[in-house]
Amino acid sequence: MKKIFICLIVLILLGSIGIYWFTNQNKETKVKKVSNNIDSISLKLEQEKYYIKENLNRYLAYHKSHDFTLSKVIADVNSNLDKVKYEDVYQTNTKENQVMLVNKYYYLTENYKPDDLVVLTAKYNSGVNSSLRKEAAEAFMKMSDAATLDNIIIKNASAYRSYEYQVNLYDRYVARDGKEAADTYSARAGFSEHQTGLALDINEIDNNFENTDAFKWLQNNAYKYGFILRFPKDKEDITGYQYEPWHYRYVGPKVAKQITDENLTLEEYHAFYVQYKNNS
């Protein structure tokens, strides 16, 4: 009887050891599979254009939570779309000049004001905020003059806005529509492109502008003078703003043509040709 009892104990112990070994082997296999999968994705990411080594962990985390192609993962992460808007933010590098990025991730300080602002005359202006940086102003006047030759009227409706002006404007929108709605069409102070002195609203701040001859003319000619449609249709997830057919941004003729030819937003251009270049 004693021998039988001892045999049972031994069998139980051996069974427990077997189960423990099998369970841990299974865990190790799963860990290895996960690890191998991550390694495989990492290698594929490294082969993608515009890959930035410092962003690898962010790429992997974003890829895990989004069913996107690896090229889109890289584009989105390089554009900081994996970050929380207005929380994970960076100070704008104003030394990037015409292609400086200001959006819900990049901000200008409260005291930032361009030192080369030019006031547009009544010939080119119909709004209260009538200043642009010198190069942008000269380009806009040339564009407006060229449009006039085609019987198209193009005037500024709102250009440079100070930090303080944007505070009041945004607060009015929030009081009227609530913060969530206001954030879809208005920038918080410091995060407005208008503070750069490189952005302006043209003719009428209304979606109906899309149906005008002036808009059609701009679609065909704005890039020639260095301007891009800043918040295009179907790119809201990238720009963070609803479609604004009236809002244009000066980036210079060369960059404007590239953005237009490649159908990019400024966020995408910055991710591909500015941030990538700075980190490669």
Task: Check 193, 244, 267, 268 and give the catalytic one.
Answer: 244
Distance CA 136, CA 43 (A): 43
Instruction: Give Cα 174 distance to the centre of its chain.
Output: 22
Distance CA 247, CA 252 (A): 16
Strand ranges, E, within 120-175: 131-133, 156-158
| Token pair belonging to 47 | 């082969």
DSSP string for 25-61: HHHHHHHHHHHHHHHHHHHHHHTSTT--GGGHHHHHH
Q: How far is CA 172 from CA 72, 166, 199, 208, 255, in A?
A: 36, 10, 21, 23, 35
Tell me, yes or no, if 210 is annotated catalytic. Answer: no
| Contact of 120 with 131, CB cutoff 8 Å | yes
| Contact of 257 with 223, CB cutoff 8 Å | yes
Q: Are strands 199-202 and 156-158 parallel, antiparallel or unpaired?
A: antiparallel
Strand ranges, E, within the chain: 90-91, 106-107, 117-119, 131-133, 156-158, 199-202, 227-231, 244-250
Q: Which are the catalytic amino acids?
A: 244
